[in-house]
Each structure stands twice: as structure tokens, then as C-alpha cells.
Amino acid sequence: MARRSTIALVPAAGALVVWIIFAVAAGAAFRGMEGTAAWLNAAAPLGILAVAVALLMIAGEFDLSVGSILGAAGMTVLLLTRHFGWSLWPAIGAAFALSALLGAANGWLVVRTRLPSFIITLGTLFIVRGATIGLTRQWTGRTQLGGLDGVPGYASAQALLASDLPGGLRVSVLWWLGAALAGAWVLGRTPAGNWILATGGAPAAARNAGVPTDRVKVSLFITTALAACLVGVIQAVRFTGADALRGEFQEFRAIVAVVIGGTLLTGGYGSVIGAVFGALIFGIVQQGTVMAGIDADWFQVMLGGMLVVAVISNDSVRRRLLARPAAPAPAPSDPAAAGRDAPDAVTAARGRTPDAQRVRADETGNAEPVLAAHDVTVTFSGVLALDRVSLALHAGRVTCLLGDNGAGKSTLIHVLSGVLRPAHGEVRFDGRPVQLTAPGDAIELGVATVYQNLALAPLMSVWRNVVLGAEPVRGRGPGRRIDREAANAAARAGVRTLGIGLENLEQPVGTLSGGERQAVAIARALRAGARVLILDEPTAALGMRQQTHVLNVIAKARDQGLAVLLVTHNPAHAWPVGDAFVVLRHGRVAAVRERNATDAADIARLMAGG
């Protein structure tokens, strides 16, 4: 929690420094209530936009169309009321509906085309702004419309959206405060916030963990569009008119405010409260330059300078976050002895002798498999990746899937985990054919997959990663939030069960060792009540001690009754824990061996093509 709070401390300190500078330069007028109200009122419209833009940028996307949607929303209200005779509230409702539709279109195009959102929304910016200008000029002969105060419903809209508060403040400041509190609640306390962080920090990993990343992104694009509409409607009501060009450059100012607030341009890390302080800095500088008598041209210079400093600072923060803390010095040991101890450690974790292992494999080998692939065939652009492959995974057994790079191992586990759908053949769970159309389908059945990339978001904390996709919650409806106590307890129990003593669960996963990250990924898989555990190259790029630890974890999972599939290209890692061995070669099953009918040398020979 302390680490998350630090994100907002830096922009808060920056806002204080900027305020002090202008308090000295602009004098008493800036420090008084009137001056304070001036920079708060100036910051409020940008602040509302910045809250929504921050959430979208944390999810790894940009929306350059918010400025044009802002102008279109205000003009929609004026056209419907002054030109087509609508009353005000139905016109406002239509503006929000149009904005939501534009946001949904942005999101749909981004997730369908997989093109950069910067390009998609830049195109939308020109389309919406051009259409606003063209249609307004065609229907009215002008690009500016007024007279909204004579429309039925104006008095109630003015009271709600554009009234003045004591001290010279505008009601838009309260709208800004409400948006900030709602955004901070969503990001910091709800499952949706966890999904936003994971979607921006590791989108492929989030999808593999069952997070609906496409839905998250589309929802956030709709949110930014609705925020832009709110600002456009507030300004139209306050000024009793609209301009087709209103909102120009607001998209860039919102991004600047969010970056100054500490959000990384690459996504996965940031804060709504930080974005609030970023907007506050913008308002202070904008009004401070005027009150201090500084030429307005220098405002852009100061804004650009703050952006550059913020980007450099944020990159430095990211590097510090991922810096591994110093570990205590290990006890002296003999490296050769560590290597000799590895098989013995695995055997101890299994809790039985090799003879007992073989008896158990024989006894369970004829049972109904928990998960099975039957005659699975997969092609990519006409290239055969899997050719009629069959595989069965039984409870309480470790099945090792071996093969060189390109043999088809990853393709097969993608089929079993719902990432890919086979062209032919079927997947069965407890003997029943199942349709796995997405990773979430497999997770619901109890199939947990730990991919080679671990499906972890490096900038997210240990506890957030462990509960990702299956967050424990309290409450219902809009008040539904993550149960932090239960989440921390689950994370601590999970990593300790697997032999990792992590005390700081707020520590970013990117700072952990390879073995520790494997344990976190497996802890998340097991926490979801898995019956099948699929591990893709879990010992790759690990040292001897970490490899031994991971093999121990695999043995413990099998002893808990799980059906385990260990995917590896290294027979030396498969033999200590394996009960059955399947060798893939060029997308076909080359050999199937039970442990009691083979030995380590035979497995190595089969791997080598013998």
C-alpha cells in the first residue's frame, strides 16, 4: 500500500513546489481565495478528463479523440435544442449516447485491428472534428451557436452543471472531485482495477490468466468518451453556447497531466490521484502565469518542460521499482553437492520411494483422465502444427511432454488451455467433450496453465498477481471491492506452501528471482481450485537451486492429487518427477512411455530422435 501511495506523493510534491513559485511570483492575489478558486476552476475540466485518461493509459492505451468528442458533445446539445427544437435534458442524453457510441467504436477498432490506439484515435479525432464542423455549418451556416439559456430545462441543468459555489468555486470542481474518488476506488479497491493494471502491464499474461482484456479496453474507451462529453456539456451550459472547435488540444493536455501525475507511457503503472495533481499543476501554471504578468506564450514552454521532466522521472521510477532488493548472503555450499542433492530433494518432496512411484503410476494409469486431447490437429496458414495428437492427464500423476523447439509443445498446451481451437479432434474433461473458446473456459473447468512467460505483470505486487482473475471480493453491485485481507492471506499461504517465504507482498513481481516468480505463478494457478496444472518450460533459464525448487513444487502439486503436465525440452528435468513421458516430434507423437517401462537414457535417446 505504501508503494502505491508513493505514486501520488511525487506529483503532490511537484504541485506544492509550483504553487510556492507562483505564490511568490504572483503575490497575494494568487494566494487568496479568489486566486485559489481561479486555478481550481481552471483545473477542473482538465481534471475530469485526466481521471478517465489515466485509467486508459494505465491499461496501456491512448485516446486522442477526447478533445473532438468534447466539442461534438457541446455542439450536439446546441443543434438538437436550438436547431431541431428539443428540450435540454433529452439533448444532453443524446450527447452522452453519441459519445458512448464513439468511445465503443474506438475500443472496438483497437481490439479488433490490434493497431496502436494512438493511430486509431488520431483518425477519430479528425473524423469527429471534421464532421462536427461540416454538419454544423451545413445546418446553420455557422460553427458557433448560442442561446442555450432560453431552452426548456436550462435552469435545472445550470444548477446541476454550471452553478457557482461559495468562495468563487464552480460546481465543476465537485464533479472533478467525484470523478477522482470514483476512479481511485475502481483502480485501487476493485477487481476491475486489478484487471486494468494487468491489462497495461502484461496484456498477454492477463489474457492467459482469464482477464477479459478486450472488454476492459473497450469499457475504458467508453469512459474517456463519457468524461469528454461531461466536460463538453458542462461548458455548453455554463457559456450558454458551443463552438465546434472547443476542446482543441485538450487531448494532449490531458495526457500531459496524466504523465506529470506519474503514469507510465508504457502502461501498467500509475495513479488516478497522481493525475489529479497533474491537472492541478496545469491549473496553477495556467492561472499563475496570468497573475504573475508572464507572457502567455511561455505557458507552452513551461508545460513542455514539465512533460519532459515527468517522462524522465517516471522512467527512473520504473527502473527503481524493478531493481531487485539485496538478498542476504547464502550460506557457503559445495556447488557439486547442490547438483547431487537435486534428485534426492525431489524424491523427499514426493514422500515415497521410486518403487512406490511406479506402483502408483500403474494403479492410476487406467483411471478416467481428468483432461485429454483426442486426435487434435492444428494448422497455421496451411502449415501442420499438430497432426492427430492424443494425450491423457490423470489425477496424481506428472505427465512430461518433451520435444525440441518447434515440435508442437506450445501449440498443444494452447489447445488444452483454451488459447487455440483445433481444426480437428476434441478436448475432453472428465470424459466429456468440452469447447474451450478462451482461457477463461479452461480456468472455470479447473485447468490452470503457467506459461513460459509466467502470465505475471512485473510492476504489480505479489498479492495482486496471485489473485489476478479470481479476486476475493466483499459487497455487491457498485460497492463490490477486493477483500484485501483475504487476498493477502491467500497470497501468503500460496507462496509459503510452495516453499517461498516472501514477507513483503507489496513487492513488485519483477523484482523476484526466476524461481520465486515460478512459485507465484503456480500459487495463483493452484489458488483457483485447479484440478489440472500445466507448466510450460518452468525450469528454463533457471539456476540449479531454482530448478530443484521448481521440481519440488511440481512434486508437491502431484502429491496434492493434481493432474500435472510438465512441458520441457530437457529430459534431465523430466525424469526426476515424471510418471509418464510423451515425446513430440514435428507435430506428431513419436513415443509414449510409462516410468516402469523406460529409463532416463531411453528418454534422452527418444528426444534425440532415436
Is 534:448 a contact under the CB 8 Å cutoff?
Answer: yes
- Between residues 291 and 454, the one the model is more confident about: 291
Weakest-pLDDT range from 22-36, 173-187, 324-338, 382-396: 324-338
Query: Can you tell me the mean pLDDT for 135-147?
Result: 91
Interatomic CA distance for residues 562 and 449, integer angstroms? 12
Interatomic CA distance for residues 301 and 429, integer angstroms? 63
**DSSP 8-state assignment for residue 562:** -
- Between residues 579 and 497, the one the model is more confident about: 579
Interatomic CA distance for residues 201 and 206, integer angstroms? 9
Between β-strands 563-568 and 532-536, what pairing exists: parallel, antiparallel or unpaired?
parallel
Sequence letter at residue 329:
A
**DSSP 8-state assignment for residue 461:** B
SS3 401: strand
- pLDDT tier, 329 (very low <50, low <70, confident <90, very high otherwise): very low
pLDDT at 361: 37
Query: Can you tell me the mean pLDDT for 311-324?
Result: 67
pLDDT at 314: 67
Q: What Å distances lie between residue 56 and 43, 163, 219, CA to CA?
A: 20, 30, 9
Cell numbers linked to 239: 457559456
Q: Using alpha carbons, select from 563, 566, 592 the residue that is nearest to residue 577.
A: 566
pLDDT at 234: 96
Name residues whose C-beta falls within 8 Å of residue 85's C-beta, 6 or more positions apart in sequence.
none
Query: Can you tell me the mean pLDDT for 276-295?
Result: 87
DSSP notation for 106-130: HHHHHHHH---HHHHHHHHHHHHHH
Mean pLDDT over the full length of the chain: 84
Judge whether residue 116 has pLDDT over 90. yes
SS3 392: strand
pLDDT at 77: 96
The predicted-structure confidence for 151-205, as pLDDT tens digits, reads as follows 999 999 999 999 999 988 999 999 999 999 999 999 989 999 999 999 998 888 8
- Between residues 354 and 444, the one the model is more confident about: 444
The predicted-structure confidence for 84-108, as pLDDT tens digits, reads as follows 999 999 999 999 999 999 999 999 9
Weakest-pLDDT range from 284-288, 300-304, 364-368: 364-368
Sequence letter at residue 281:
I
* Angle in degrees, 0-180, between the axes of helices 33-58 and 191-201, rounded to the nearest 10: 70
Spacing of C-alpha 175 from chain mean position = 27
Q: What Å distances lie between residue 343 and 34, 403, 557, 605, 607, CA to CA?
A: 75, 22, 17, 20, 20
The predicted-structure confidence for 358-394, as pLDDT tens digits, reads as follows 334 344 445 789 999 999 999 887 788 899 999 999 9
pLDDT at 211: 87
Weakest-pLDDT range from 236-245, 277-286, 335-344: 335-344
- Between residues 511 and 322, the one the model is more confident about: 511
- pLDDT tier, 527 (very low <50, low <70, confident <90, very high otherwise): confident
Is 372:391 a contact under the CB 8 Å cutoff?
Answer: yes
Is 524:465 a contact under the CB 8 Å cutoff?
Answer: yes
Name residues whose C-beta falls within 8 Å of residue 334's C-beta, 6 or more positions apart in sequence.
none
pLDDT at 169: 93
- pLDDT tier, 61 (very low <50, low <70, confident <90, very high otherwise): very high
Sequence letter at residue 424:
H
What pTM value is reported for the model? Answer: 0.81
Judge whether residue 125 has pLDDT over 90. yes
The predicted-structure confidence for 409-458, as pLDDT tens digits, reads as follows 889 989 998 888 888 999 999 989 998 888 888 888 889 888 876 668 88
The predicted-structure confidence for 205-252, as pLDDT tens digits, reads as follows 888 777 899 999 999 999 999 999 999 999 999 999 999 888 888 998
Judge whether residue 15 has pLDDT over 60. yes
Between β-strands 398-402 and 424-429, what pairing exists: parallel, antiparallel or unpaired?
unpaired
- pLDDT tier, 8 (very low <50, low <70, confident <90, very high otherwise): low
Q: Which residues are 563's β-sheet partners?
A: 532
Give the full edge-to-edge strand order of the sheet including 371-380. Answer: 383-393, 371-380, 424-429, 432-434
Interatomic CA distance for residues 550 and 49, integer angstroms? 46
pLDDT at 322: 61
Is 378:584 a contact under the CB 8 Å cutoff?
Answer: no
Radius of gyration, alpha carbons of the chain:
29
Buried b (16+ CB within 10 A) or exposed e, 91-116: bbebbbebbbebbebbbebbbeeeee
H or E segment to which residue 494 belongs: helix 484-497
Name residues whose C-beta falls within 8 Å of residue 335's C-beta, 6 or more positions apart in sequence.
544
H or E segment to which residue 592 belongs: strand 588-594
Q: Which residues are 508's β-sheet partners?
A: 461
